[in-house]
Chain A
Amino acid sequence: MDGTTGGRRQPAPEHGQAPQLDFGALFECAPNPYVILDTAFRIVAMNQAYLRVTMRRREEILGRNMFEAFPAGPADADGSSTRMLRDSLTRVLRTGAVDHLALIKYDIPGPDGRFEERYWSATHTPLFDHRGELALILQHTVDVTELHRLREASARAGWNSDKADGKVEGELLQRAHAVQQANVSLEAETRHLRNLFEQAPGFMAVLRGPEHVFEIANAAYSKVIGHRDVVGRTLRDALPEIAGQGFFEILDAVYQSGEPFVGRGIKVYLQPQPNAAPERRYLDFVYQPIFDADGAVTGIFVQGNDITEQKRAEEAVRESEARVRRLNDTLEQRVVDRTLELQDARDALQRINDNLEAIVTARIADLRAANDEIQRFAYIVSHDLRAPLVNIMGFTSELESLRGQFSKFLSGQAEEVVPEAVRVGVEEDLPEAIGFIRSSTDKMDRLIKAILRLSREGRRVLAPEPLVMTDLLEGVLGTLAHQSEGVSFHVEQLPDIVSDRLAIEQIFANLAENAVKYLDPARPGRVTIAGSEQGPVVRYTVADNGRGIDPRDFDRIFDLFRRSGAQDRPGEGIGLAHVRALVRRLGGAITVASELGVGTTFTVDLPKVLEHGADHS
């Protein structure tokens, strides 16, 4: 058990004039077993004591890895022994300090190849080169198998070990064991902290020295920098792409000032993979200076969070907000545009309406003017036609009176003195000629009067007044009494109307007169006048059981001077033309339905109320 005697940089003897020592020989023949490993745990040297205790030959193990040279035995299926050894060696590498393994069960194969149970107590001592860097590990190991077995046996026998040697041994072993336990728990704690560090969600790294050499970096950090191997490299070397982004300067400042730096949402361009284009990332981080016992800065603890996703989400939100805003603006603009379009359309429509109104007004004025023109024309023509008619009739009368005188004179003469031709001329030819002239002029006079009446009717100002139609019809039919003997009139309940009395009277007088005039002598005449209201329109019908009208003449009968059927009744073909003109002037319409030999029905639709000033001529 030489574990406590191991120290750093074992010096050569300091005192006395010691002869030149051969350290190689000393090492070789030292009674304690020694083996020397490099940092990869390869066996680079051992002494005779070591070969003896491990039952090996030098050439078997020299240059080989420790764990290849001494593989785990069958009793170490879970590898706990080799791990214990490896952990100890690794601790030395990491800490540069002596590490003790107070008791380790590590079976080794005997000369026959079979594994033998062995317990060891080992001390691992770091050896530094001339630059002070750890270069080798010296293992001093002691086979304590017998001791271990003895102790276990005494424990089983319940011996009180009062034997001084035994007690010393026991205490020593216990103490060693306690140290080892402390080491184990320390190691566990360290491992725990390492795990925490490694698994911490935030990225962490420790940069050492003024050149910011990565001492350690956790998984999150590794992820941020694209899983590059950075430990042991300077920041400039490990992350060349951040040059020019200001981080070196900040780190230098932190290192020099000892003041921490806190960055929020800092933008950094990092290569996700070697040779890849740098990606933009956003980081929240702290550069926390690490101080040594003297308060000098020895490194910088880097800790932070990659907030790129959060930042992108924020950007996405901002972008979508902006898009919504733009959409809103666009929408508003579109609404404004559309509104303007609609307004334009409405204005255009208004202009068209105005124009239309003007056009209609102009058209009405034109029609009025044309109508007035026709009225004047009819009026003038009728008068100018009448003037020569006065002469024809006048001088015809003069002729007739002269003929009377001739006739009287001839009647006083003897028959033989008056030639037959003269007598016939005066008594027969002249009266015949004069008769034709008279009947023609009479007819012409009637036609002219009719035209005159129509034109006059068109010039008359309408005067709407409430009319009790049943009474009005009774009066109209009364004037027909002398020409309608034997005809039965039936006036049903008629809707009243506000209209021009004279026009209404003339309309129904003409229709009733026509009905009576064209009755069928073969059957008793019957004329029915009925009416009904249809909203703003009042409909009157005048129906007879007369001789009827040929459907081909339905339109003709309303034309001036046109008549239908046998011309065996007096008339100029004026009545219905007059009626239609009146009905139209009152804003109404007239239609006829008839069947020859059965009867005729005239239907008159009129506005229920004729407005004052309304004139549909």
Chain B
Amino acid sequence: MPNAKPVTIIMVEDDEGHARLIEKNIRRAGVCNEIRHFTSGTAAIEHLFDPAVRDAGPLLVLLDLNLPDMSGTHILGLLKGDETLKRPPVVVLTTTDDQREIQRCYDLGCNVYITKPVEYETFAQAIRQLGLFLSVMQVPEAL
């Protein structure tokens, strides 16, 4: 890894099961980075906008769009509207494969959009490929 500091993965996912399956498959891809899991948008935003986190180090955000307290697109908008937090890549990982939703997310600055397939093999495959992707991607250093 060329980065001096390893990338911290921020996972915003209200479904514990999904979170566990995602984590399992990321690990199975050989990704050992720290994964911080938040089950609500509020908690995730609070954490991300904490200067200690915001300015500390390279981040990658795994974002589910269907959250109980706020919509994923709202969180995406907040992140991409922030001078610092606009840089970390955001991977939208959700059940929605609605074209307009996907379009909207990319317009807001989402970097990757992945639909959670119900077919588990496909799902697991997708997550593992994401893990492989994470292992090679360059993430901007914090300012």
Contact = CB atoms under 8 A, between A and B. Distances in A.
Contacts of B128: none
Interface in B29-71: 66
A292 B21 CA distance: 156
B96 A383 contact: yes
B119 interface: yes
A397 B96 contact: no
Interface in A393-424: 393-398
Given A383-B95, A389-B118, A390-B95, A397 B17 contact: no
Contacts of A395: 17, 21
B82 interface: no
B71 to A, nearest CB: 12
Nearest to A382: B95
Contact of A393 (B66, B95, B98, B120): B120
A177 to B, nearest CB: 150
Contacts of B98: 379, 456
Interface in B114-135: 116, 118-121, 123-124
Nearest to B22: A394
Contacts of B120: 390, 393-394, 396-397
A429 to B, nearest CB: 21
Interface residues of A, number: 18
Q: Chain B: interface residue count, which band?
A: 10 to 19
A396 to B, nearest CB: 7
A212 B9 CA distance: 147
Name which of B15, B98, B118 has the most chain A CB atoms within 10 A of its CB. Answer: B118
B5 interface: no
Contacts of B21: 390-391, 394-395, 398
Nearest to A384: B66
B15 A387 contact: yes
B104 interface: no
B95 A391 contact: no
A396 B95 CA distance: 18
A180 B116 CA distance: 161
A391 B66 contact: no
A137 B96 CA distance: 155
B121 A386 contact: no
Which 8 A-B pairs give the minimum distances between C-beta atoms?
A: A391-B17, A397-B120, A394-B21, A393-B120, A386-B95, A445-B118, A394-B120, A383-B95
12 contacts: A384-B66, A386-B95, A390-B17, A390-B116, A390-B123, A391-B18, A393-B123, A394-B124, A395-B17, A397-B121, A398-B24, A445-B118
